[in-house]
A and B are shown apart, each in its own frame.
Chain A
Amino acid sequence: GENVEQHPSTLSVQEGDSAVIKCTYSDSASNYFPWYKQELGKGPQLIIDIRSNVGEKKDQRIAVTLNKTAKHFSLHITETQPEDSAVYFCAATLDTGRRALTFGSGTRLQVQP
């Protein structure tokens, strides 16, 4: 089955700096890669996703890049703000069949004001 590894487990940045979180996946058949943000006491919230036919996707301060050959994808947050502080999860799945997500272990991002 799919295995997703995520690094780093914790990340502390100064407000206004950029943050990068990296994930690798094992199953070359996976073709959908979402990123979730989880705030304390809440469920994961989808913030951006990318499909295997696209190399990069951007939404305001958030971008995701995908390298299918190397089987890794990354989340980039620019101009970080204190409200970006949360736990971020990457995930991977094949969008047919059971379509269940395999998650990375999460990155706790702390943005220092």
Chain B
Amino acid sequence: DAGITQSPRYKITETGRQVTLMCHQTWSHSYMFWYRQDLGHGLRLIYYSAAADITDKGEVPDGYVVSRSKTENFPLTLESATRSQTSVYFCASSARTGVYEQYFGPGTRLTVT
């Protein structure tokens, strides 16, 4: 029972390059979320998805793109990475009904040089 996984765990890239962070969950949860964690800001929502093919912006969406063609996957793409996108990225998932708890993946530490 893998739960929610993220890959890669660590990534170093250069300014201007495209980077895709992967998120996979095995619970068939309807909701999935991407947050970024920066010192002094806690966790901030980038994008979320209520179901396959349904996505919407969060608090800090600029410079990011998401897709969700399958329920279990929710990749996050930085189309042209900037130094300000250096952060730790967390994916989370939540069931549609009944319980509302969000379960987080282990995170991806991204450094943009």
Binding site for B on A (CB under 8 A): 1, 6, 32, 34, 36, 41-46, 49, 89, 93, 95, 98-106
- Asked if A43 and B107 sit within 8 Å, CB to CB, the answer is yes
- Asked if B101 and A49 sit within 8 Å, CB to CB, the answer is yes
- Asked if A44 and B90 sit within 8 Å, CB to CB, the answer is yes
Contact among B33, B58, B100, B107 for A95, CB-based, below 8 A: B100
A89-B31 contact, Cβ under 8 Å, with A34-B101, A43-B90, A45-B104? no
| Chain A interface helix/strand/loop/mixed | loop
- Asked if A106 and B100 sit within 8 Å, CB to CB, the answer is no
List chain A residues, Cβ under 8 A from B94.
99
Tell me which of B11-19, B36-44, B76-84 binds A.
B36-44
How many residue pairs between the two chains, A and B, have CB atoms under 8 Å in the bound complex?
51
For residue A1, which residue of chain B has the nearest CB? B59
For residue B57, which residue of chain A has the nearest CB? A98
Any A CB within 8 A of the CB of B102? yes
- Bound form: Cα–Cα A36–B90 in Å: 13
- Asked if A98 and B101 sit within 8 Å, CB to CB, the answer is no
List chain B residues, Cβ under 8 A from A103.
35, 42-44
- Bound form: Cα–Cα A42–B41 in Å: 17
Give, as a whole number of angstroms, the nearest-CB distance from A53 to chain B: 13
List chain A residues, Cβ under 8 A from B100.
32, 93, 95, 99
Give, as a whole number of angstroms, the nearest-CB distance from A60 to chain B: 18
- Bound form: Cα–Cα A103–B37 in Å: 10
